[in-house]
Every structure is written in C-alpha cells, then in structure tokens.
Structure 1
Amino acid sequence: MVRVHGGFANRMYRLDTDQGSFAVKELNLLDRRWAYCAEDVFRFEQAAFAAGIPMPEPISAGHHTLVHRWVEGEKMPEAPVSPAYAFEIGEILARIHALDVAWTHVSIEDPTSRDWPELAARATATGQPWAGELTSQVETFLAIADFVDTCERPGPVVLTHKDIQPWNLLAREGRPVVLDWELSGMLDLSSELGSTALSLAKGPGFDDVKPAIFRSVLNGYVAGGGVLPPPGPSWFVFMISGWLGHTRWNILRCLAGVEPGTGPDLALSHESVRNGVRGLPELFGRLPELEALLR
C-alpha cells in the first residue's frame, strides 16, 4: 500500500491489486471526537451507491479500516465551483435525502466546550506559534460557543453526508464525485444545505463568496425534488460548530507536542489551528451577510 498524504482526520493509502485499485482508510481511533458507527454508515453508502449517487463503490467497513474502490478524478480546489457543478451537487443532496435507509445510531451531543481561556494559557506557556492570536480571540470563541448551543434548528432532520466540502469532492469529466462518507448521520436540513452551498461558493476566505453559486446549489436541490427550509442562522450553525470542534481538537493535538500515530500529521494540525483561529471569528462576524444569501 502507498500512503496518500493530506487527510484532515484519518490516514489514506492506495492499494493496487490484480482485482483493481482500492482506497484503504485507516481510521483515527485514538482521539476521535465522537463514536464512529461503521455498520450504519456502510449500509447508507451501499444504498446511495445502488441509487446511482456518484461516489466510490463501498467494499468493506470495520471499526478500524474502510475500503472503497479507487476513483480517478480531479481534486477540487478551495474556490467557487461552476454553476453547473453546484447545481448538480444540489440535485445529489436531494437524492440522498430521499433514500429510505434505517438509521439506528442515536448521537448525543455534548455541550460546546468553553475551555478557550485555559487552552490559550497552555498555548502561551508551551510557546505555540499561534498562541497570541488565540489569546486575542478568546472572548470571540466563547461567544461562538454560546451561539452554537442556543441557535434554534427549525428542522426537518435528514439522513445525509454532513461533510460535502471541496476536499471531499472530485470532478470526473467535469461532474461531481462525492467522497468520505464516514461522518454521515442525521442533521438539520438547513445546516446541511448552508454548509454545502457556502463551501462551494467561496475560496479560502470569505471575501469572494459568489451568491450565484450559493443559489445554484439550492436551485439544484429544488429541481431534485427537495423543499428548502426557512432562512435563518441555523443554515450556518453546523459549519461553525464543526469548525470550532475541529480547531479545538487540533489545538489539543498540538499541545501534546508529539507526532501522533494516527490521524493528520502534526504540521497539518498546526495549519488547521491557524486557519480556525483566523477564519472562525471572521465567519462568525459575517453571519448577517451570509443570511442575506438566503433572501
């Protein structure tokens, strides 16, 4: 097997055999932020693949390793996609949400962590390169945690992918292929649509959000038979919550000061922390602008 670098949470390998090529993913179990329900996700993937959703064929799943058939395609840059690509992603989401798949796993969400002052103090004491930036944003991170815990989710709740971002997509002959389904589960519909549409409509920051691309995702969803939920901040709370948890998780990995045996490289964890410390306050501050995309 050959290591494929760049994963944000797990480790990926390519395995070439006389039966074809496969993507073998070694799951990071040492410091997961939630339990992984392998059997439920695998059954969901099988149903999606059988329904013609463009994705790698699921081969096997265990609590330590996932295997899919390797799919060739172009990696998607973190940049606004084409209107046609965005529209098709919306259609794909509508088809995913229409699948009739039993979901036995019940997720229990813990209250959002509020230990940001302690983390900033530890970062300063250990000389982390981003300690000053984190310290200056502690109050903002506490406000973000309050927002995540108090934002009203209007529903409906759907079984979905939960992580359709540029780094989980390929383009094959210009059309989408959806990768990395292991975060699948139940999610408020507005959060899934808002996270997906915003990630496809912008670059690395928030200065170049393309409203037409954002709207193309929603138009595709309606064309695929979906019904849009009411506008509001709930469209972006899951994206903010996920990024907040991802940033804190990587801070803890950096504070440990050792190269972890599984999951992302330590250098990638530092990069993720810097991106979160700089990007999350900006995203949170632009909520009113983002809500205007829904009107």
Structure 2
Amino acid sequence: MNLSQLGTPVGPMTRVHGGFANRMYRLDTDQGSFAVKELNLADRRSTYHVEDVFRFEQAAFAAGIPMPEPISASDNTLVHRWVDGEKLPEAPVSAAYAFEIGEILARVHALDVEWPHKSTEEPASHDWAELAERAAATEQPWADELASHVETFLAIAHFVDTCERPGPVVLTHKDIQPWNLLARDGRPVVLDWELSGMLDLSSELGSTALSLAKGPGFDHIEPTIFRAVLDGYVAGGGTLPPPGPSWFVFMIGGWLGHTRWNILRCLAGTEANTGPDLALSQESASNGIRGLPGMFARLPQFETLLV
C-alpha cells in the first residue's frame, strides 16, 4: 500500500491486533498518527461500497459526529487520523454515555447523504447440519457443541428470514457495538464505519441499545441503560419505531452470519493473508456456537425492554 501522502514515517508501521474482520495498523509520521486498515476482500460476507462509505463518513465528520477524521480510501485500504481513547469494558456503559449514543444515532440518521444501494439482506444459511459434519470430520474443538445445536441454528435462520421489519429504513453505521467505540474524556467516539448502509431503524436501535446495556453474555442487562439510548435518540430528534422482535433480528442475524463465516475459516484450517487470525476465528466460532442459542432463547426477555 502506498502511504507516502501521509508524510515521512518516524517509526515502523505496527500491527494493532484484535480486529474481527480486517487488519489494523498504526503509522506515525511527521504529519501525525494514522490508523491504516487493510480490508479483507478475500472472503467478505457482503459487498463493501468503499467510495460511498467514505463519502458518508466525510459527511458525518463534517456534521460534528465524534469519530476519527477520514483521510483516504482505496479498494483495499482505509486511512483515518488516529484517535486516542479508552476501550469500553465488558459492562453496561453509563447512562450519560448511552444517552449520547442515542443522540449521535439521531444525528447520523438525519444526514442528507445520497446512498445508491438498496437495503438488501442475504437469506440466512441453512447448512448447519453439513457444517457440523465437517467440523466433526476435521476434529474442531467445538464440533460436538455445534452438532447438539443444529436444530436451534436452523430455527434462528428461520427467524432471521421471516421476521417482519416495520421500517423506516435509514442510512446508518450498522455496527455501533462496544468494540467499535472509545471513551474520550468519558464521551463516545464512533469507530469502524465500513459496514455502513441502509438498515431498518428498529434493528439499529435494538442492536445498539442492547450491546451497551449488558455485560459478558446476557445474564446482566441494565434496562435503564437500554432506555437511555432510546431517550437520547428521541432527544436528538428521532422517532422510535413500534416494539417487536425486529429490534433484535439484525443483531441475531449478524452474529449468526459472523459465526458461520468464522466456522468456514476454521474448517479451511489455514491462516488467511487478510482478516482475523485463525486463533481469533476459532474463538469467535466457539463463542457464537455457545452464545447464540442462549441469546435466541432470551428473545421474549429482550422484548420486555421495549415496554
């Protein structure tokens, strides 16, 4: 990748580990510090509209959304100005932080940015029995657990395919999760915009609010934090959609697709040149196989958060 436009390096570019889909590096030059993201194009789960996402980011940054400044984008590389901040712990955020995230979402949804791509979701995959057989044949450490949950994964796929989305559909970030957020002086900074696109509003709000209101797993959910996100959204000028399971279908479907994608990377058994390390794919596959059935079983509990 040609990064000469960023200035003269003052040290080697260093890998920042932990990315779930792409690979991140930090580059320090005489013009500042930059986050250089190498996109995984080899086995992406969806099309990445690099030019349109970059234009959306520029509009959000110009509108004052707290985020890293977008510097440049090419087919396989994104560059943003480096932002220092604290990573969020696996715990419910503060009510003030949650409220501000809601306000940020309302401001993002109010941006007047043309998006030439329709909202399309690929049908959920139903090949879980075959994946379980392949996992057993290749002696994956989670093979038995996957085999025991095949019917549940098929039920989840059916739910994702059939759940009614009430609308409206908005242009949004689509992945405001704790791992895509920083706290700077206690206030949010929104990272990693490359999944941006059109999404049913209830799915965006439900996914965001639930992720900020819980700790590890789903045994500890703070309803007041969940509601703080929604209160912030209304205070920022947004209108809440009607309650229902659609608030959580995107989060469940996204985790289902992410789990399957990592299972396939593990079944391949080789270290890919892009994307997460094989060890991280193993961890993600195991977490999904263990966590998704429990999450799906709690869907009625999640819906009570909307009342």
Name the counterpart of 1:233: 245
Question: How do 1:257-276 and structure 2 match up within 5 A?
Answer: 257-276=269-288
Post-superposition CA distance 1:219-250 (Å, at most 9, x none)? 00000000000000000000000000000000
Moved >6 Å (runs of 4+) = none
Q: Give the whole-Å Cα distance in 1 for the aligned partners of 2:126 and 2:209.
A: 29
Name the counterpart of 1:183: 195
Report if aligned partners of 2:209, 2:229 keep a CA contact under 8 Å in 1.
Answer: yes
Name the counterpart of 2:108: 96
2:15 is equivalent to residue 3 of structure 1? yes
1:74 to 66, 80, 86: 86
2:73 is equivalent to residue 61 of structure 1? yes
Q: Give the whole-Å Cα distance in 1 for the aligned partners of 2:117 and 2:301.
A: 35
Structure 1 length-normalised TM: 0.99
Percent of aligned pairs sharing the same letter: 83
Name the counterpart of 1:195: 207
Q: Give the whole-Å Cα distance in 2 for the aligned partners of 1:228 and 1:254.
A: 40
Q: Give the whole-Å Cα distance in 1 for the aligned partners of 2:121 and 2:209.
A: 24
One-letter code of the match for 1:190? S
Report if aligned partners of 1:36, 1:63 keep a CA contact under 8 Å in 2.
Answer: no
The unaligned stretches of length 5 or more in structure 2 are 1-12
2:42 is equivalent to residue 26 of structure 1? no
Q: Give the whole-Å Cα distance in 2 for the aligned partners of 1:110 and 1:223.
A: 33
What is the DSSP-based 3-state SS (H/G/I as helix, E as strand, rest coil) of the residue aligned with 1:149?
helix
Q: Give the whole-Å Cα distance in 2 for the aligned partners of 1:133 and 1:163.
A: 28
Question: How do 1:1-295 and structure 2 match up within 5 A?
Answer: 1-295=13-307
After superposition, the CA RMSD in angstroms is 0.6
Q: Give the whole-Å Cα distance in 2 for the aligned partners of 1:228 and 1:62.
A: 36
What is the DSSP-based 3-state SS (H/G/I as helix, E as strand, rest coil) of the residue aligned with 1:103?
coil
Question: Shift in Å at residue 78 of structure 1?
Answer: 2.1
Post-superposition CA distance 1:91-136 (Å, at most 9, x none)? 0000000000000123543321100000000000100000011000
Q: Give the whole-Å Cα distance in 1 for the aligned partners of 2:229 and 2:119.
A: 27
Q: Give the whole-Å Cα distance in 1 for the aligned partners of 2:136 and 2:147.
A: 8
In the comparison of the two structures, how many residue pairs are matched? Answer: 295
Q: Give the whole-Å Cα distance in 1 for the aligned partners of 2:252 and 2:18.
A: 22
Report if aligned partners of 2:119, 2:199 keep a CA contact under 8 Å in 1.
Answer: no
One-letter code of the match for 1:215? R
What is the DSSP-based 3-state SS (H/G/I as helix, E as strand, rest coil) of the residue aligned with 1:12?
strand
